[in-house]
Amino acid sequence: MTRVRTVLVAPALAVVFSALLCAVALLISGDSPLTALRVMITQVGQGTTAVDILNSAAIYYLVALAVAIGFQMKLFNIGVEGQYRLAACVAAIVGGTVPLPPVIRTIVIILVGALVGALWAAIPAVLRAYRGVSEVISTIMLNAVATGLIAFLIRPDTFGALSGNNITTPPIPESGHFPGLHLGSSGTIFGMILVVAALGTGYWFLLGRTRFGFELKASGESPSAATAGGVDARRMVLIALLMSGAVAGLAGLPELLGRDYAYTLTSPQGYGFTGIAIALLGRNHPVGIAIGALLWAFLDKSAVALDVVGVPREILLIMQGLIVLSVVVAYEIVRRYELAAEQRRVAAQLRALANAKAPSPEGVSS
C-alpha cells in the first residue's frame, strides 16, 4: 500500500538519519555511540523507566493532539503551552476547594480543565475568525499572559498557600484523584492514559468518519474550495481552536490527578512546544502521534540514563532536533515523489487501457 509506505518510510528514514548524525557527533566528542545505544536500549528494561516513558508519552500525546487539531486546518496553536498550564492551575484550585463527592469530583476537575483550555483558546479563535488576527501572534502573547495569571492565582493571598520554598494550590483530596495502575516497585501508570486513548480514538473517528472531520480537512487543504463546497470557514476556525484548547486543557491533568494532586510553582512547563514537534513527527495522525510521543518520551528518559554513564545528555536534544527537521524534510520529499509516481501510474494505466481498446497504428507501446 502506498499510503502505509508514505506514512512509515519517511519517519523511519529520518530517525535513522538523525541517529547516524548523532553517532558522528558522539564520535567527535570522544564517546562511543555503541555504548550510548546500549544504555538507551537497556534502560527500557528497567520497570521504572518504562512506566515513566509511558506516563510522559500520555501527556505528550494530549499536547500533540491539541496541536494536530489546529494543524488539520493550517492553524498554528502555539498557545497549547499557556492553555494547558492555566487549565491545570484552575482545575487544581477547583478540585482543591469545591467540596464534591468522589468520581464526580474527578469528572468536574477534568471538565474544568477542558473548559478553561477552550476558553483561553477562545480569545485567539474569536480574534482570528472575526478580526483576522494571526493566531500565531495572539497565542504566543497569551502564553505570557497565562504565566502572569497563574502567578496571580497561586499567590498565598488568593488561592495558593506557602509550603516550604514552594507555593501550591490547596491539595486535591483523595476523592478527586484519578486512580492509576500500580505496578509495585516500577511505579504507577496514570489512569488518565485511558482518557488519552479514548481521545485518540475519538480524534481518529472524528477526522475520518464524520462530516465535521471532513470539513476540517477540506478547510485545511483548500479554504477556497471548502467555502465553495458550503463549509463555513469562520465557524471551522472557531470550533477547531476551541477543540484544540479543550484537549490542551487536559494535558496537565494526568500529573495533577495521578501524582502531584496540586498545582505548584514547580509544575512542569514546556509541554506545549514539545507537542508541536510531536504533531509534526506524527503527521497529525492519531497513530503517528502515539509513536512520536513514545519516541520523544524514550529520548527524554535516555538523557538521564546517558548522564549516568557520562555521555553528554545534550546529545539527545541534538537528536530530537534532528529528527523533527529531517522528518519534515523527508515527508515533503516522499509526498512529492509519491504524487509524481501516482501521476505516472495513472497515465500508464490509462494508456494501457486505451491501447487495449484501440491499438494505435503508430505503435505507442507501454
Partner 1 sequence: MTASGNSGAGPGGSTAGEWAVELAGITKRFPGVVANSDIHLRVRTGEVHALCGENGAGKSTLMKILYGMQPPDEGTITVDGRQVRFRSPADAIRAGIGMVHQHFMLADNLTVAENVLLGAEASHGIGAKARARIQELAGTVGLRVDPGMLVERLGVADRQRLEILKVLYRGARTVILDEPTAVLVPQEVDDLFDTLRTMRADGYTFLFISHKLDEVRAIADTITVIRRGTTVGTADPKAVSSRQLAEMMVGSELPTPETRESTVTDREVLTVSQLSLAADDGGRHVLEDVSLVVHAGEVLGIAGVEGNGQTELVETIMGMRRGAHGTITLGGRDISHASTLHRREAGIGYVPEDRTRHGLLASQPLWANRILGHQSRPPIARGPLIDRAAARRDTERIVADFDVRTPGVDVHAAALSGGNQQKLVVGRELSGDPVLLIASHPTRGVDVGAQTGIWEELRQARARGLAVLLISADLDELIGLSDSIAVILRGRLVATADPSTVTPEELGTAMTGAGSGPNLAKEGS
Instruction: Indicate the SS3 state at residue 357.
Output: helix
Contacting partner 1 (CB under 8 A), which of 30, 228, 310, 357? 228
> C-beta of 1: minimal distance to partner 1 in Å?
10
Give the one residue of 22, 89, 112, 218 binding partner 1; rule: CB under 8 A.
Answer: 218
8-state DSSP, 247: H
- Residue list 291-350, contact with partner 1 (CB under 8 A): 339, 342-350
According to the 3-state scheme, what is the secondary structure of 63-116? HHHHHHHHHHCCCCCCCHHHHHHHHHHHHHHHHHHCCCCCCHHHHHHHHHHHHH
Residues 270-289 that bind partner 1 (CB under 8 A): none
State which residue, 1 or 28, has the beta carbon closest to partner 1: 1
Closest separation between CB of residue 339 and partner 1, Å? 6
Do residues 110 and 249 lie in contact, with contact meaning Cβ atoms separated by under 8 Å?
no
C-alpha cell at 284: 497529525
Residue matched to cell numbers 538523557: 303
The DSSP H or E segment spanning 234 is helix 233-250
Stretch that binds partner 1, among 161-169, 202-210, 273-281, 289-297 (CB under 8 A): 202-210
CB atoms closer than 10 angstroms to residue 339: 10
- Regarding 166 and contact with partner 1 (CB under 8 A), the answer is no
The distance of closest approach from Cβ of residue 41 to partner 1 in the complex, given in angstroms and rounded to an integer, is 38
∠ CA 17-290-64, rounded to 5°: 95
Residue 364 binds partner 1 (CB under 8 A): yes
132 binds partner 1 (CB under 8 A): no
Query: Which of 229, 270, 321, 359 lies at the binding interface for partner 1 (CB under 8 A)?
Result: 229
Cα separation, 140 vs 138, in Å, equals 6
221 binds partner 1 (CB under 8 A): yes
Phi, psi angle pair for 182, to nearest 5°: -80, 130
5: Cβ–Cβ under 8 A, 6 or more apart, which residues?
338
Given candidates 54, 212, 285, 312, which one binds partner 1 under the rule CB under 8 A? Answer: 212
From 173, 213, 268, 312, residue interacting with partner 1 (rule: CB under 8 A): 213
Total residues interacting with partner 1, rule: CB under 8 A: 40
Name the residues that contact partner 1, by CB under 8 A: 208-215, 217-218, 221-222, 224-232, 339, 342-351, 353-354, 360, 362-366
